[in-house]
Amino acid sequence: MDYDIQKIRSYFPVLNQKVYNKPFVYFDNAASAQKPVQVLMTEERLHNDFYGNIHRAAHYMADQATIEFEAVRIKIQKFIKAEVREEIIFTKGTTESVNLVAHSFGEKYIQEGDEIIVSEMEHHSNIVPWQLVAGRKNATVIKLPFTDSGELQLDVLEKMINPKTKIIALAHVSNVLGTINPVEKIIEIAHSKNVPVFIDGAQAVQHIPVDVQKLDVDFYAFSAHKMYGPNGVGVLYGKRKWLDEMPPYQGGGEMISEVSFEKTTFNEIPYKFEAGTPNITSVVSFGSAIDLITEIGLQDIGKWEQDILAYAASKLKEISGIKIYGEAPEKSGVISFNVGNTHPYDIGMLLDKMGIAVRTGHHCADPVMQHYKVPGTIRISFGMYNTKEEVDLFIEALKRVLVML
C-alpha cells in the first residue's frame, strides 16, 4: 500500500503545533476530525468569489453558488452509491437526520402500541428522538442488547421483531466500542419481516466504504465534521419510496411549491426536507473533504487505520490494570478503556498537559456505560493522519500519568 502519511499530514497544519510545549497528538477523531487546508480554502474561495443564496435568484452569484452546492449532492450520491441524487438530503448533522426520520416517518407510520427497536450501544442522538416519537404516539422503544464483547445479539433480534415492529435503528459503527455491526445481515433479517432500518453511519463513512444500494438500507445518516469536513452539515440518505410518502419535518422557504392561506403544496424531494437557507459554504467545502478521501482512497485509509488500531490495542494491553471495553472481531477507529479504579477524567486531564487529546466520559452513550457498570471511559480514536509514532507518545504519556496517580 502506497500511503504517503507525511503528505497527508501536511494537509492538516494544526497537527504541527505544540500544546503545552509538547508535540500535539490528536486522538479524538470520533468526536470531530481536524480540517484539511482543502476544506478551509474552498470555504474562503466561495466567500471571496461567488457567495449568494441558492435556488432563489436569477443573478450570477446565486447561480454559481447553486451549481457548486448541488454538485456536492451528486458527490455524496456517488460516495455512498445512492441510486439518485434526490435521495440525498442535507441536514445540520447526524442528530438532525435522526430527528427528521423519527419525526416524519413516525408521524406517518407509527401508531399507538407499535414498537421501535433500538440497539443498546447507540449514541443518545439515536435513542432520544425515537423516545420522543414513542411518547407522542404511545409506542414503545425496545432495546436490542449487546454482549460483553460488544456484539449485537442477532438471535435476540429475530425473536424481537413482530407485527408491531415499525422500524429498527442502530449504528453502523459504535462510537464507544468501535464495533462494526453486521448491518447487511441485520437489514436482511428486518426486511424478511417487512421492517425498515435506519443506520447511524457517523462513525463509519470516514473509515469503511458504504454502498447503500448493496446494503439495501432504508435510511443512512452521517456528519461532515467527522469526515474532515466543516461543522453544521449532515446528510440523510433515504430510499425514495419512503421519502416521497413522508411528510415534511419543518416548514419554511424552499420546501414548498405553492403557499396560500387556504392550502400549501410541498416541493419534491430532496427539497421537501430542506426548509430555509442551508449552510451553503459548509456544504460546498464538505465536497472538498469528500474529494480528499476519494483521492487518498477509502480502502487505503481503512487499512492504515486498522494497523494503528491493532498496534494501539496491543500496546495498551501491556499496561497492568488496563480494561478495554468491546473486543468484537470487527472493529474500526475506536478503543475505550479504563485503568483500575482511576477516574477517566483524571487521566484525560493529565494526558492533555502532555499534549495528548483524548475523550473522557460517557461519550453520549449512557446505556453502554450502564451495561459495563462504569461511570465513563477513556476513548482514543484515529483518523487518516495518525501514526504509530503518535501511539508511542500516547503510551509513554499514559505510563507517566499512571505513576503520578
Q: Quick check: 1 pLDDT over 70?
A: no
Integer Cα distance of 65 and 77 in angstroms: 19
Task: Write down the pLDDT at residue 336.
Answer: 98
Query: What are the residue numbers of the active site?
Result: 364
Q: Tell me the three cell numbers of residue 357.
A: 487529546
Q: What DSSP string describes 248-305? A: PSS-SSSSEEEE-SS-EEEPPTTGGG--S---HHHHHHHHHHHHHHHHH-HHHHHHHH
Q: Quick check: 135 pLDDT over 80?
A: yes
C-alpha dist (Å) from residue 72 to 201, 224, 289, 350: 18, 12, 10, 41
Integer Cα distance of 355 and 368 in angstroms: 28
List b or e across 140-159, with b for residues whose CB sees 16 or more CB atoms inside 10 angstroms: ebbebebeeebbbeeeebee
Q: What mean pLDDT is predicted for residues 371-393? A: 98
CA-only gyration radius of the chain, Å: 22
Nearest to 25 by CA among 367, 345, 392, 327: 392
Integer Cα distance of 198 and 212 in angstroms: 11
Q: How would you classify residue 276: left for phi > 0, otherwise alpha for psi between -120 and 50, otherwise beta?
A: left
- What share of the chain in percent tops pLDDT 90? 94
| pLDDT digits 0-9 by tens, 251-268 | 998 888 898 999 999 999
Ordered by where they begin, the domains of the chain are: 5-30+297-404 (3.90.1150.10), 41-294 (3.40.640.10)
Task: Compute how many other C-beta atoms are within 10 angstroms of the C-beta atom of residue 122.
Answer: 25
Q: Is the separation of the CB atoms in 389 and 141 below 8 Å?
A: no
Task: Compute how many other C-beta atoms are within 10 angstroms of the C-beta atom of residue 368.
Answer: 25
Q: Is the separation of the CB atoms in 335 and 178 below 8 Å?
A: yes
Residue indicated by cell numbers 459503527: 173
Q: Quick check: 43 pLDDT over 80?
A: yes
Mean model confidence pLDDT for the chain: 96
Task: Write down the pLDDT at residue 50.
Answer: 84
Q: Is the separation of the CB atoms in 271 and 255 below 8 Å?
A: yes
| pLDDT digits 0-9 by tens, 192-217 | 999 999 999 999 999 999 999 999 99
| pLDDT digits 0-9 by tens, 278-300 | 999 999 999 999 999 999 999 99
Higher pLDDT, 254 or 179: 179
Q: Collapse the DSSP code of 332 into the 3-class scheme (helix H, G, I; strand E, B; otherwise coil) and give the result.
A: coil
Give 126's contacts (C-beta < 8 A, 6+ positions apart): 98, 118, 169, 170, 171, 198, 200
Q: Which of 34-38, 44-48, 119-123, 370-374 has the lowest mean pLDDT?
A: 44-48
Which one-letter DSSP state was computed for residue 83? S
| pLDDT digits 0-9 by tens, 100-114 | 999 999 999 999 999
| pLDDT digits 0-9 by tens, 346-360 | 999 999 999 999 999
Give 142's contacts (C-beta < 8 A, 6+ positions apart): 115, 116, 117, 118, 160, 165
Q: Quick check: 56 pLDDT over 80?
A: no
Q: What mean pLDDT is predicted for residues 382-401? A: 98
Nearest to 166 by CA among 199, 190, 131, 147: 190
Which one-letter DSSP state was computed for residue 384? T
- What share of the chain in percent tops pLDDT 70? 100
Give the residues across from 52 on adjacent strands. Answer: none
